[in-house]
Structure 1
Amino acid sequence: MSPDKIFARYFSTPKQMAYFSVVVGLVSALLFGGLTSLMLHNKREAGYDVLTKDIRHYLDTFFHDLHVTADSIQPLTAADCPLVSPELTSRAAFNVNVRVFVLIRQGVAYCSSATGAMSMPMNDLIPDIDLNKNIDLFIMTGTPMMPGKPTIVAWFKNPATDGRGVFTTLNANLIPYLLFTARQSEVLSMAIVVGDRALTTLSPEVVNVGSLPAHPTRIAALNDYPIKIHLYGTSWPLEDIQLSLLTGLIFGLFSGVICSYFLCVRMRPGKEILIGMKRGQFYVVYQPVVDAQKLEMQGIEALMRWEHPTAGMIPPDAFIAFAEAQQLIVPLTRHLFALVARDAQELQTVLPPGAKLGINLAPSHLHAPTFKDDIIAFAASLPPHHFKIVFEITERDMLKEKEAMSLFSWLHAQGFEIAIDDFGTGHSALIYLERFTLDYLKIDQGFVNTIGMETVTAPVLDAVLTLARRLNMTTVAEGVETREQAKWLIERGVNFLQGYYFSRPLTLTQLLSWSQSQNSHNFLKDVH
């Protein structure tokens, strides 16, 4: 007898399904609660030891890398600020946890990666830093540019020349999140301690060490740097019992719900997406890409949208992430190919020959066994020799380096172009530029939004554009929303612009209408 018939025979009514689900939930609650109560105490103590070791290793690596970076900057202290300011800004831009690097000469801060030339005695700026030490740390409540944002100040003395050195401010508020996200269940609270000051998860403000709980469960300290991490937890048996009961309750409810869901719905994860593709719930919108010099539409980016019949519009980030998690990104991308191919005949009426057609590709599709066949089939479905296809590689997952190099070479050999999408928002952007041959660098909207704003991250966009020019990469700025942003980007040599200032993503019908009514030279009449 098949499984479906067995289920139909023994669980043919909602009442039977509910009874069975309750029994499964109770058994799961007893099983998992009992196992948790037996194992929790020993695992808790062992977990504290492992966590302390990992934190110490993290801090060692973090400050060693920072020290190496500071040592590489030390030679800049021999030169005046105008000569080294661009290099200093570049170094700060590509160090994620660094707010600013400042050069010190004879006890005076004279050059900042954020503000350029300055002149301020260190005794006035940070009186508690000891410039006679080779390395010193201090916790501040904020900086002039970011008041109210606690930071760790790190001083590195120039080993070759007295009176010179480098200090930097760090995004200290990120460190607890990075350290404890994966293991929050083991620790009730924590504190970063430097001298007599501390940052703690119990308060958003800088506090004195004396106000911290008296007996930390573990302390992670470094030999070479004056910083400690205090961890606070508990080994009370009552909490173990409570956690065991909670674990049993959660697993019992989870098992009962899953059982009920399986019996009642019998749908595998991701079937909603497959049904949506089958029933035409997905559609494509096209966002114009404008040539920065001609101020004419020279291409489009194809973007998938999902209008669910009951949930309404599903955000792209949500359904794309879910599709990747359920290994459905390949069929979803093939569906995108099919929808674009269906529109291609009409698209060529509004796009000139050689126009760019941007298509997003996830790394998981790039490494799929059917990738080459999918690409060849997609290219064959389009009008011949009209569109220049640009595959935009997203950064949700890391690329497999050797395989990606081969695939990129194959794509180039087939006449396709490659862009890195949303540059700077993922975890691998610089690695991509270093190791792969890419044609386009798409600047994320987050950088474009800093134009005209005096923020710590504002210099990053200049550094990105400089990097692109040195690598001979074509640049595309995304998220352009104002005339000022467009003018700034054009003056700095950005090749293409894309964003709401020109047009929102449009359906095919809207794009055809927009193209007919839009005078291309009305985009930015007074920009030049």
Structure 2
Amino acid sequence: MQTSQQIVGQFRRKRLFIAAMVAVLVLVLTLSFRFFEEKSRIEQQSRDFANHTIARFDRMFSPLDVSANNTQALVGLRCGEVRFPLIENLASLQTVRAILLVDHGNIYCSSIYGERAISFSEAYPELAISSQRMLLTTDNYLLKGSPVLMLWTPKTLDNHSGLIQVINIELMSNYLLEPTLPWVERAVFNVGGKSLEYGNPLIEEALPSADEVSYEESSLRYPFSITLFGPPPARLALMTLPSQLPLALLLSMLTSYIVWLATANRMSMAWQISYGLTAKEFMVYCQPIINASSGNCDGIELLLRWHNARQGWIPPDVFIPLAERQNLIAPLTRFVITEMVAHLPVMPRCKSFHVAINVAASHFRDRAILDDLQTLWWPANPVPQLVVELTERDALPVVDQRVISHLHKVGVQLAIDDFGTGHSSLSYLKTLQPDVLKIDKMFTAAIGTDAINATVTDMVISLAQRLNISLVAEGVETEEQANYLRERGVDRLQGYFYARPMPLGDFPAWMDRHLAHIAA
């Protein structure tokens, strides 16, 4: 059987579990968000680097296009006539090594070597035959073996005449392709399937290493592209997570604390009891009280039962003390009274039959019990006698004695429940003047087994008889106990020996069976 500490502990563990799960979730989401944000930022930086580099190459090639278009008028003229203008033009273009003139498929003039006689299609088939505008190759004349970029500007539609600018691409690449660590480790300039990497004077295919990824962006104006190699953005993003951990932990702890506070009400027994009343999880049971002499059922004690959809059946000795501590016992008592009033039509309509209701001491403050009876009980014109059972769990303040006096005046009997197990029992007999004493089941169970408690039971019986107070023995489970109590003059008996607690609606059928059993 669960105890109140176990129930509260379960709620606390659930709250702690929920807060911990929220903390973990927030931590994971925060780090994930920062991971994907950092990964996206690194990818964007790579794209920005490539686009910026392409834009700078485009800006450097653009004046060469203008110069080539202005120089095309020299194509076809004798080399001796145009060489000086070519050299003059070359001096204004810092990135161009040489200018070659092509006429009718022959390279016939060079700004450096003067007159030439080289087949255009044999020397540069990519430009002459394949109609490429650019060719990445090595210099075989001026600085042999060094990388150069050929920029071809045709003059005729048949591609047999035009102008070639030999560009110092190594100078441009060293200026424009410098990597930006850690997200760009290598930058490569690509033209027609050939590549030139920053810091590498050789024209060769550039391939990523085992732990690198590549990103390529092409120019929209010229036939070249830029390829970037670097570590995977995910790996770089992961490397930044340790620096994000303190903030993520702080955010997760703050969120979990907020969840802990937010669930304090909902994940509490007070909320569960309030919700249980609203959701009709509480049920009113009753246990018959038998006249020890005649065997008739003289009354019933109303008992509250709770089937929590989340916890299952919760014993009264668990939720009743919790309800008292949370000031929710009065709403529960009102619920019991309301249910009893609804079942009054099927109850015995005689004044010798009584209905006992457990009422906590806190319900007596500020005349609350009187107000509730005035609102709920008396308007139903009940015939059965009402007995208010007061538990000894709490002591009554002096001011509440006036409420007790008023209950006696309006004909409500007062019973002290669990007599002998609480405190100030004898003083209660003087100040409260009860009509009934209920012997706790602990003393009943001691009959025949515990001589000390049995002696106490006899003393309680003798005391009640001398004070002319009616006695009810709780927890009668055997015939031996029933006979023992009957022989000592106990007025009424209550326990499993006669009947177990039953739903209030089942009592009329039980009463019929009991009357039939007595008559037989």
User: TM-score, normalized by length of structure 2?
Assistant: 0.50
TM norm structure 1: 0.49
Choose 1 or 2 for highest CA Rg: 2
